[in-house]
Amino acid sequence: MVAAGAAVAFSLATGAGAAVASAAPAARPGPTHKAITLTNIAQIDSYDVATDAAGAAFIGWISDAGPARQVHLCTIRAGGTSCAGGVQTIASLGDSSASGLRVLATASGNVTLVWFHDTTASGSGPQNAEIATATSVNGGTLSAATDVASAPSFGYLDDAEFGPGGAIWTVAETSNQETLQIRAGLGAALVSKGGPYQIGTAKLAFSGSTAVIAIQRAAYITKPVSYASSKGGGSWSSFRTLNHTWTSDANVGLTGTRSGIRLLASVDNADYWPVVSRWTGNGFTRPALTGDRNNCSPGSHDPVSDASGRMADVSQECEDLAVANLPDTTHAAVVRFGSGGTFSDGPPQLATTPRGRAWVVWSILSSTGNKLLVAPVLLPGRDVSVRKSAGGNRVTLTGPASCLPAVTVGVKVTGSAAAHWRVLRRALHLGRTSLGSALNGGTLSAGRLYTLTGTVTFADGGARRTVTAKLKFRSCPNS
């Protein structure tokens, strides 16, 4: 089990039978393979990663590897350690301005790369830049770049996401950082939305047919984030302030989970711990701490969701990568590992599968260029406790929260005896299988409901009293 802010090595799960398929080596949270180097010879403008239902990673980036900026795509199959068929490279259409790359992938592996670039006409008018795309089917040949929509000259692409019906929405900002341009589909008309201040970044997410944009003020760390929502017919609400948030030195995070949109920011004090807010349909709830109270506060956020219903996030924390699993979308279990150097070229990026397998992409400085790295990662499990008492004797059972990734977690049962009583024996069972102090989630059937039972027998002279606590949880599904 990984408590928030901790990375723990676990012993083997014990027992076999109906509840547990077999004993297996411990599956620790964190990287399951050493970091894979994607490039180490270029300045990297931006990068992103997405997965399909099979767990393949699609990593895209823009680099200055040639005389003009280029767009790259690497496909790594589930369990793979290199780019299938090598790295694919195409012209970016923007000699030195291509930026803001986003990678979008469907469950079947249809991949779309979306980015921004200026043109030779950008200096002649306010709307002469372009949003470009390139596509690949399941890691196959990457198409040539195509311009699909105009964009603000010398502006920036803040976000691109799948919207209702699978349309790709984009959010770009003008060069003065005062206005957002929103397109509800690559071929849709743009809607201009003025901000309440100079915008540092904007993020987009969806709750059904409602789109929500969260923004933060440029160059400020102690100002609260703001948000607006779509009202239909291309209109938007006014921006509202989300009180009790700062952005620290991290970008605001926003993602649409199965249970609704979640927003990540920092608590409004010098601790800078991450806080999460839930979208109610009309606004966001008061931010609450996720449980990550590391002394080194997050320097970035990239929250994502998947079909399990969870939210997950990767953050830059000093020179470490912090990967948070929030199975209930509000409380985090965190695993950390070293970046291998000094971060560069933008915030780390994350993509997850429902079973709890993830891909993390990040960039560090190197002696020959900026190095772009990717690693497969197992998400940590989060623990919860239930309590039962009888006659003053109390039992506490600690086990996994739903959904449990394919990772080994700690389990335990403890007893607190009433006056004149003592703990005689303790036992842990998963179904009919006896357990020790660990449970390997990778041996459980995906998506199945399990019952963890903790039993403590208390003694007072010749008297005996047995108290039983039960914890029900689900293993993470495959899809």
* For the chain, domain boundaries: 30-377, 383-474
Look at residue 20 in the predicted model and tell me its pLDDT: 44
CATH number of 30-377: 2.130.10.10
Architecture of 383-474 per CATH? Sandwich (2.60)
Mean pLDDT of 204-216: 97
Mean pLDDT of 252-276: 97
Look at residue 26 in the predicted model and tell me its pLDDT: 84
* Residue of 478, 423, 419, 418 lying closest to 455 (CA atoms): 423
* Residue of 146, 226, 223 lying closest to 180 (CA atoms): 226
Report how far apart, in Å, the C-alpha atoms of 389 and of each of 428, 430, 451, 452, 455 are. 17, 21, 19, 17, 11
d(CA 234, CA 13): 54
* Res 25 pLDDT > 90: no
pLDDT band at 367 (very low <50, low <70, confident <90, very high): confident
Look at residue 369 in the predicted model and tell me its pLDDT: 83
Q: What is the pTM of this model?
A: 0.93
Phi, psi of 122, rounded to the nearest 5 degrees: -60, -35
d(CA 357, CA 406): 8
Q: Is 46 buried (19+), middle (13-18) or exposed (0-12) by CB count in 10 A?
A: buried
Tokens of 349: 């990026």
d(CA 109, CA 357): 17
The mean predicted confidence, pLDDT, of the chain is 93
Bridge pairing between strands 99-105 and 88-91? unpaired
d(CA 159, CA 201): 9
Look at residue 219 in the predicted model and tell me its pLDDT: 93
d(CA 413, CA 398): 6
Name 415's Cβ contacts closer than 8 Å, sequence gap at least 6.
393, 394, 395, 396, 423, 426, 456, 458, 467
d(CA 268, CA 274): 10
251-273 exposure pattern, b = at least 16 Cβ within 10 A, e = fewer: bbbbbbbebebbbbbbbbeeebb
Q: What's the pLDDT tens digit per position in 64-86?
A: 877 889 999 999 999 999 999 99
Q: What's the pLDDT tens digit per position in 241-250?
A: 999 999 988 9
Mean pLDDT of 446-455: 98
Q: Is 219 buried (19+), middle (13-18) or exposed (0-12) by CB count in 10 A?
A: exposed
